[in-house]
Structure 1
Amino acid sequence: MDDLRAAVAESIKRLRVSRGFTQAQLAECIGRSLDMVSRLERGDATPSLETIALLAQALETHPSHLLGGAVMPDEISPAAQQLIQRLKWSSDDDLAWIMKLLDLVERRPAT
């Protein structure tokens, strides 16, 4: 259970940051307190199914992604599928560089 709670906490924080939300903004969007969002991101609280649904809606993702679930092929855009195919043949060094680039993309301010 602790592994799942940690995976959920990491997913919430990663998605919140990538969407450009502060914890306070996310809390307001889902009708929960700032303290609750902070506790969820630290893994100190377990979200209810209702909260998972609200988080998924606010973060524009599928609820299963918050639970550490894999993206289903039919949920992946054609461009993302093409990217995945190209990444299969990349070296570990190239993949490390690409991950750094993706980190920068996720951190850019929302437009």
Structure 2
Amino acid sequence: MSDITRESVEHLAMLARIALTEEEVTQLTGELSQIVDAIATVSEVAGDDVPATSHPVPLSDVMRDDVPGETLSLEDVFRGAPAHDGERFRVSAILGEEQ
């Protein structure tokens, strides 16, 4: 059995600034205890000869190679822009400071 207590759950909730009801504290105490116990069980089985993995099935990258292509000219870029100065987009000021 793990060392997860109501007090430790309440302390963690306070550190995370999460308001928990009494029912939630009771539920989380049990759930966290089960999680810690399950991790302990796995740790007992996994010895030094078992390599650590992040995924049980080998994964491969399915993305295509990043090959640069043709870029747009400035005229093409600014063609649909509502406002620009020829080199940059013009946008409204932030924080309510309209131009």
Question: Do they superpose with TM above 0.5?
Answer: no
TM-score normalised according to structure 2 size: 0.21
TM-score normalised according to structure 1 size: 0.19
